[in-house]
Amino acid sequence: MKKDKENIVNKLYDIEKIRTENIKKEEKNISYNPEQVLSLNEIKSLDEKYLLQVYARMPVSFVYGSGEFLYDTEGNEYIDFLSGIAVNSLGHANADIVETIRTQADKLWHTSNLYYNSQQALLARALVEISFSAKVFFANSGTEANEAAIKFARAYGQKMNTTKTKIIALKSSFHGRTFGSMSITGQSKIHDGFGPLLENIEFIEANNIKSLEKAVNKDTCALILEPVLGEGGILPLENEFLEKAREICDKNKTLLIFDEIQTGIGRTGKYFAYQHSSVTPDLLTIAKGLGSGFPIGALLVSNKYNDIFDIGSHGSTFGGNHLACAVGYEVLRVIESGKVLENVNNISEYLFTHLNNIKNGFPEKIQEIRGKGLLIGIVLKENIQARPLVAKALEKNLVIGRASDNVIRLAPPLIVRIKTCDRALEKIEELISEI
């Protein structure tokens, strides 16, 4: 019996050896060498030749990151005040996250959702503990988390009444690029040319209570809001608007969904932006900061609605895999044990004070500094475009972003330090003075 087992193992080992040798032979035909260091021009020409050209890229390629800093192919250092669009919550190459990835990668990456998964269960419990929710569904990205929320909302509506299918979203909102999430995104430039989209979606003005009252009725299954509109110009929703939204949703048995894909996981100084207000949603979606750069997304659901989805209602092959969930759990552990939220609030106050000073120095160029925590918008005068300023900042070794035509977006890592902010503020002031 033992001998048989040994024979089988040896046979398998031989097969594996043959396979590996074959792969090595095949590799010779593929012009890929992970050791190869490419110049920016080489990367650019490969990109143009082999990638679908859907991104307007900046002329830089980063090859290394550490904390609040990025380094390009030439070894130049940049201050990262964008965090991969509010993603690298703990900065680059955080030692605890690197260690977690190494340890988990040595053990197990993926088993599918056919089996129980301790990393998934532990991360779900942690998310429930820091939020209003009772249950979690894991996805791999923000748009997928929103797809889950849209399906959930329609399933909820259908259970009540076949006509309860309308979803209301905000003008200028952004919820993703897949069909459902694109359909609830309030920007025609995202929709145009891809129709027909999901039916029965209506858009209303942000912070406009009258249009809210007019739009939501008993046929509305969900209202989806970003507590701070990200792509729509770092625009916080007013507490009065959120309170009214809650009241109207309750009256019409409409689900209130918060998309906290950009604002969640400490970005605004609390775990979730809704925690700054007096309003609790029924559903909440997260992604970006949860993995600090590792792809993961989630839908959080309140206890009241935990029977809407049942076995087979939704699923994902990769969603909630061991590696992603181990990282998500470690991100939350580091935020909690490292007093990261405290840092967000202190640095936010510092940045708002100094940015307002810059604004006061250039009243003809800056309208307003707005946002929450470390999601900050520098709202330029209507006639000033943010895009060229983002490019100019890069020339000054400062990475910043844009959120709508005339808003500069700042989203430094949540672990950013005052001395780095001082260097960034100096560059921002110089940038504004040169407009």
Ligand X SMILES: Cc1ncc(COP(=O)(O)O)c(C=O)c1O
Q: Does 104 bind ligand X (CB under 6 A)?
A: no
Q: Does 411 bind ligand X (CB under 6 A)?
A: no
Among 429, 238, 236, smallest CA distance to 351 is for 429
Residue closer to ligand X (CB basis): 315 or 361: 315
Instruction: From 35-43, 156-164, 173-181, 188-196, give the range in contact with ligand X by CB under 6 A.
Output: 173-181
DSSP 28-97: TTS---TTPPPPHHHHHHHHHHHS-------S--EEEEEBTEEEETT--EEEESSHHHHT-TT-BS-HHH
Residue closer to ligand X (CB basis): 182 or 334: 182
Question: What is the C-alpha to C-alpha distance for residues 308 and 326, in angstroms, rounded to an integer?
Answer: 27
Residue closer to ligand X (CB basis): 70 or 296: 296
Instruction: From 16-24, 106-114, 172-180, 341-349, give the range in contact with ligand X by CB under 6 A.
Output: 172-180
Q: How far is the CB of 119 from ligand X (least distance, A)?
A: 20
Taking CA atoms, 410 is separated from 49, 78, 377, 397, in Å, by 32, 14, 6, 14
Residue with structure tokens 């792969």?
23
Q: Does 175 bind ligand X (CB under 6 A)?
A: yes
190-198: which pairs have CB atoms within 8 A and are 24 or more residues apart? 198/150, 198/167
Q: Does 143 bind ligand X (CB under 6 A)?
A: yes
Q: How far is the CB of 342 from ligand X (least distance, A)?
A: 25
Q: How far is the CB of 327 from ligand X (least distance, A)?
A: 15
Q: Which helix (H) or strand (E) holds 136?
A: strand 135-139
Q: How far is the CB of 133 from ligand X (least distance, A)?
A: 18
Q: How far is the CB of 130 from ligand X (least distance, A)?
A: 19
Residue with structure tokens 């192919």?
73
Q: C-alpha 340: how far from its chain's center?
A: 18
Question: What is the C-alpha to C-alpha distance for residues 273 and 262, in angstroms, rounded to an integer?
Answer: 10
Q: Does 236 bind ligand X (CB under 6 A)?
A: no
Residue with structure tokens 């936010």?
348
Residue 319, SS3?
Answer: coil
Instruction: From 28-36, 115-123, 255-263, 264-272, give the range in contact with ligand X by CB under 6 A.
Output: 255-263
Instruction: From 123-131, 138-146, 331-339, 361-369, give the range in contact with ligand X by CB under 6 A.
Output: 138-146
- CA neighbours closer than 13 Å in the CB half-sphere of residue 131: 33
Residue closer to ligand X (CB basis): 175 or 246: 175
Q: Does 407 bind ligand X (CB under 6 A)?
A: no
# residues near ligand X by CB under 6 A? 15
Please give the residue whose beta carbon sits closest to ligand X in the complex.
142
Q: Does 287 bind ligand X (CB under 6 A)?
A: yes
Residue closer to ligand X (CB basis): 256 or 261: 261
Residue closer to ligand X (CB basis): 262 or 292: 262
Q: How far is the CB of 85 from ligand X (least distance, A)?
A: 6
Question: What is the C-alpha to C-alpha distance for residues 275 and 131, in angstroms, rounded to an integer?
Answer: 9
Peptide bond into 196 cis (omega under 30): yes
Q: Does 302 bind ligand X (CB under 6 A)?
A: no
Question: Which residues here bind ligand X, judged by CB under 6 A?
Answer: 85, 141-143, 146, 174-176, 226, 230-231, 259, 261-262, 287
